[in-house]
Amino acid sequence: MSRIPLPYNPKVMDLFRNPKNLGKMEDATVVAVAGNPACGDMITFYLKINEQTQVIEKAQFESYGCAANIATSSIVTEMIKGLTLEKAWIDITWKKVTDEIGGLPSVKFHCGVLAVGALKRAIRLYFDQKSIAYPSWLSKEHTFEEKQALEEEELAKTLSKRMKPEAEKQQ
Amino acid sequence: MVENVKELLKLHESITHEVYLDNENSTIVPQEVLDAMLPYYNKKAYGNPTLTHKPGWEAFETIMGCFGKISKYMGAKNLEEITFTPSETEANNLAIMASCFAQKDKGKKIVISEIEPINVLQVTEMMSKFGFSTTKIPVNSEGFINLEKLKEAIDSQTVLVSIAAVNNEVGTIQPIKEAVDIVKTKNPNTLFHTDASDAYGRIPLNVQQLGVDMATVSSFKIQGPRGIGAFYLKEGVNLERILEGPIGTQKLWPGVENTPLIVGFTKASELAFTDFEANVAKLRGLRDKLVDGIFNELTDLRFNGPKGDKRSPDNANISILRCEGEALTIELSLKGVYVSSGSACSRRLLQPSHVLIAIGRIFEEAHGSILMKVTRSHTEDDISYVLDVLPSAVNRIRGIVGSTGVH
């Protein structure tokens, strides 16, 4: 059990209590998942994209995660609404999101960065799924936030392998 | 950071009923325990018990009385077998370090279980710096140690076995007497320590009948003040002191005895052991009402640890699927219900409860677990209140999870 104090700020608490843009989106243009429930953090990110203008018309999320994860996901969906994919890709960085949310306890970095990783992954997925060539602003190489999400997912795999195979399952 | 906490606390201002169930991590000290302690700060026996004046002699007399009572409650042969330490953590460190150092010429092997308290895991790991290796005995899906594996693990080089009498997270009551017999048959020189902090005041405990060489108990685990615990060392067993300083009434732990805390711990013990059976029945009744109520209100739950007589009467540990534990502890806090979780969400290393993983729970089950311990100070109304607010708290967090992670 943790012994690390977690003094969440009022903005985080407000978004934890009243998350915006929560829930599954049935008519999403693209759906991206980041994290793994084995690590205790997983986000599903839904984007409704106007394919003519490449503007994000709607963004929603679902989160299996802690208060920091929920609050960060919520604020990202608010920050990107109405942005073009290009602007969302370039402007919405981990640093900008943490500033917007008023800071997170440092130990919560991996929970928060996942929301930005999910966004970047959704944007990349949009071009992949539509088989549209990457525009010049979209790097082939993974962004910092996508790498963080990948790292967490790899860690979950390693942890799952280390689990006891001999322990019997209980009902 | 402190400003944030002030704001966090403001969010709790409208709470009308509070139920503290996180007795694993601290406790509410009953007023009568505090009343017993307070005079020892400024009215009587405030002296150092080793000095030649009235307040010192008063302190000496008081502390000796407490040694006597605690030794009786633990089932020790005499009061010299008891040492007061600042807590369970220090007593466990003392047991492991002091016994290993004293026997380093006989062997360098330690045996513990996979589900020992974190302080035992960490101090045995630290002992590797001194050349000691540690074998961890596996447990089954209810947390019971594998006695066959224990037998296999003991050899002529094994100097110490440390297995908790009751697991602090899932409440499993271990067969300590059988374990001691197995260990001593294989190697009579191996010392046996048990952390009995979660057994003391909850199940009948008698260190002589168990046959252990060392045992730990903790004050706050029985509604006593924090900062005090007791260590039992069987007469005739030699340990090497791990702390140096002026020795007072106890040769294993230097420094000035903390009379008020010792008195508080002893008073808390008295309250737990007077009408012991009625107290235990009360704990069991409240715990069962809590668990049954939760299972009646919610689905997709896992009960962690054994049921019935082999479980500590105060302990409830439930995994709530599709619900992240840290988020749930905060949601419950805002409603005045205080619990802890086996979730890993506050660690970069992402390690959920090692106990839940050892009994075969998958990570999601550990992340969604909550640990609750009732005390005899709780009322039926308290449990009803928890049952009123818990389902809606779980349902709100499950609403945020939605379809995420559902395959």
The DSSP-derived string for B149-188 is: HHHHH--TTEEEEE--SB-TTT-BB--HHHHHHHHHHH-T
Least confident range from B28-42, B50-64, B128-142, B358-372: namely B358-372
Question: Above 90 in pLDDT, residue A13?
Answer: yes
- A–B: how many Cβ contacts below 8 A? 142
Question: CA torsion, points A119, A120, A123, A124, in degrees to nearest 10?
Answer: -140
Closest CA to B176 of B135, B213, B222, B230: B213
- Cα(A34)–Cα(A145) distance, rounded to whole angstroms? 10
Q: What is the pLDDT confidence band of residue A109, given thresholds at 50, 70 and 90?
A: confident
Placement of tokens 């325990």 in the chain: B33
Query: Do A62 and B363 make contact, defined as CB atoms within 8 angstroms?
Result: no
Query: Do B140 and A167 make contact, defined as CB atoms within 8 angstroms?
Result: yes
What pLDDT does A162 receive? 60
Shortest distance, CA A135 to any CA of chain B (angstroms): 30
Chain B residues with CB inside 8 Å of A46's CB?
none
What pLDDT does A84 receive? 97
- Cα(B46)–Cα(B40) distance, rounded to whole angstroms? 6
Question: Above 80 in pLDDT, residue B350?
Answer: no
Instruction: Retrieve residue B243's tokens.
Output: 């702390």
What pLDDT does B348 receive? 44
Main-chain phi, psi angles of B405, to 5 degrees:
80, -5
pLDDT tens profile B157-203: 999 999 999 999 999 999 999 999 999 999 999 999 999 999 999 99
What pLDDT does A130 receive? 93
Q: What is the pLDDT confidence band of residue A158, given thresholds at 50, 70 and 90?
A: confident
Q: Does the domain spanning B32-273 belong to CATH 3.20.20.70?
A: no
Closest CA to B204 of B113, B116, B272, B289: B272
Least confident range from A118-122, A124-128, A153-157, B269-273: namely A153-157
Question: CA torsion, points B365, B366, B367, B372, in degrees to nearest 10?
Answer: 110
Tell me the Ramachandran region of residue B307: left when phi exceeds 0, alpha when psi lies from -120 to 50, beta otherwise: beta
Within 10 angstroms of residue B405's Cβ, the number of other Cβ atoms is 23
Closest CA to B175 of B212, B141, B202: B212
Question: Above 60 in pLDDT, residue A3?
Answer: no
Query: Do B11 and A67 make contact, defined as CB atoms within 8 angstroms?
Result: no
What pLDDT does B110 receive? 98
Strand partners, B301: B320
The DSSP-derived string for B293-343 is: HHHHH-SSEEE-S--GGGB-TTEEEEEETTS-HHHHHHHHHTTTEE-EE--
* AA identity, residue B244: E
Closest Cβ opposite residue B11 in set A13, A64, A168: A13
Closest Cβ opposite residue A24 in set B1, B142, B403: B403
Shortest distance, CA B95 to any CA of chain A (angstroms): 23
Placement of tokens 């729970």 in the chain: B361
- Cα(B175)–Cα(B143) distance, rounded to whole angstroms? 11
Which CATH code fits A10-148?
A: 3.90.1010.10
- Cα(B319)–Cα(B393) distance, rounded to whole angstroms? 14
Main-chain phi, psi angles of B42, to 5 degrees:
-145, -5
For chain B, give the percent of residues with pLDDT over 90: 92
**Going edge to edge, which strands form the sheet with A55-64?**
A30-36, A41-50, A55-64
Closest CA to B190 of B220, B214, B217: B214
Instruction: Retrieve residue B157's tokens.
Output: 């080089």
Chain A residues with CB inside 8 Å of B343's CB?
2, 40, 66
Query: Please, which residues 103-142 of chain B have a Cβ atom closer than 8 Å to chain A?
Result: 118, 138, 140-142
Q: Is A66 a catalytic residue?
A: no
Asked if A169 is an interface residue toward chain B (Cβ–Cβ < 8 A), one would say yes
Q: Rounded mean pLDDT of chain A?
A: 88
Model-level pTM? 0.93
Closest Cβ opposite residue B350 in set A10, A17, A40: A40
**Interval B224-244 mean pLDDT:** 97
Shortest distance, CA A14 to any CA of chain B (angstroms): 10
Closest CA to B71 of B279, B283, B281, B262: B262
What pLDDT does B291 receive? 98
Residues of B noted as catalytic: 345
Asked if B344 is an interface residue toward chain A (Cβ–Cβ < 8 A), one would say yes
Nearest CA in chain B to A162: B357
Q: Where do the structural domains in chain A lie, given as residue ranges? A: 10-148
Q: What is the pLDDT confidence band of residue B34, given thresholds at 50, 70 and 90?
A: very high
**Interval A125-140 mean pLDDT:** 94
Closest Cβ opposite residue A170 in set B334, B341, B360: B360
Q: Where do the structural domains in chain B lie, given as residue ranges? A: 2-21+276-401, 32-273
Tell me the Ramachandran region of residue B13: left when phi exceeds 0, alpha when psi lies from -120 to 50, beta otherwise: alpha
What pLDDT does B406 receive? 62
**Interval B18-25 mean pLDDT:** 97
- Cα(B375)–Cα(A13) distance, rounded to whole angstroms? 30
Exposed (0-12), middle (13-18) or buried (19+): which is B158, by Cβ within 10 Å?
buried
Say how many Å lie between the first and final Cα of chain A, rounded.
24
Closest CA to B242 of B81, B77, B49, B89: B89
- Cα(A117)–Cα(A136) distance, rounded to whole angstroms? 20
Q: Rounded mean pLDDT of chain B?
A: 95
Extract long-range pairs of B179-188: CB within 8 Å, 24+ residues apart. Answer: B179/B145, B179/B147, B179/B150, B180/B210, B180/B211, B180/B212, B181/B211, B182/B147, B182/B150, B182/B151, B182/B154, B183/B111, B183/B150, B183/B154, B183/B158, B184/B211, B186/B151, B186/B154, B186/B155, B186/B158, B187/B154, B187/B155, B187/B156, B187/B158
Question: Above 80 in pLDDT, residue B297?
Answer: yes
CA-to-CA dists, residue B340 to B228, B314, B331, B372, angstroms: 22, 15, 12, 7
**Interval A31-51 mean pLDDT:** 91
Instruction: Give kind and range of the element (H or E) at residue A61.
Output: strand A55-64
Helix (H, G, I), strand (E, B) or coil at B72: helix
Shortest distance, CA A139 to any CA of chain B (angstroms): 28
Q: What is the pLDDT confidence band of residue B347, given thresholds at 50, 70 and 90?
A: very low
Closest Cβ opposite residue A41 in set B25, B138, B345: B345
Residues 6+ apart with CB under 8 A from B230: B70, B74, B82, B83, B84, B85, B91, B216, B217, B219, B265
Chain B residues with CB inside 8 Å of A6's CB?
346
For chain B, give the percent of residues with pLDDT over 70: 98
CA B221 to chain centre: 6
Question: Above 50 in pLDDT, residue A155?
Answer: yes
Shortest distance, CA B136 to any CA of chain A (angstroms): 13
Query: Do A107 and B142 make contact, defined as CB atoms within 8 angstroms?
Result: no
> Which of the four CATH numbers 3.90.1150.10, 3.40.50.2300, 3.40.190.10, 3.30.360.10 does domain B2-21+276-401 have?
3.90.1150.10
**Going edge to edge, which strands form the sheet with B369-373?**
B301-303, B315-320, B369-373, B340-341
Sign of CA dihedral B378, B383, B388, B394: positive
What pLDDT does A4 receive? 62
What pLDDT does A154 receive? 86
**Interval B294-315 mean pLDDT:** 97
Chain A residues with CB inside 8 Å of B24's CB?
1
Asked if B299 is an interface residue toward chain A (Cβ–Cβ < 8 A), one would say no
